[in-house]
Structure 1
């Protein structure tokens, strides 16, 4: 089971590979991650910490990129 995000301008569609009828639409990437997390927790009974891991990794990478960004 996997949650996927289809990112286009201006929205992000979140879906589940096991539940083809379920999807969510968000306009913010973090909110898209949270929608997928909540689906995993509510429907597939995934532990919250495990469901939140992809978002945490994304946030850590974004923070690292921001620290290393070159400003002109």
Structure 2
């Protein structure tokens, strides 16, 4: 937007580079003052969804560990030679 304004006024100003610099500075200041800049997008909100239930996974791990403690040391738990 600032460039289109600058294009229209480029030949009408006495110092176009200073005018362009001032336009950029004002555009940045206006951008930081906009109220929408202080708002957060809805995508930043963490949804309150329950995670997956891992209780079955923990139970399975406990069963496997209990079974492995009953295998004698040095013995292959899978029965291969």
TM-score (norm 1): 0.33
- Which of structures 1 and 2 has the larger relative contact order (alpha carbons within 8 angstroms, sep 6+)? 1
The structure with more helix, counted as a fraction of residues? 2
The structure with more strand, counted as a fraction of residues? 1
Larger radius of gyration: 2
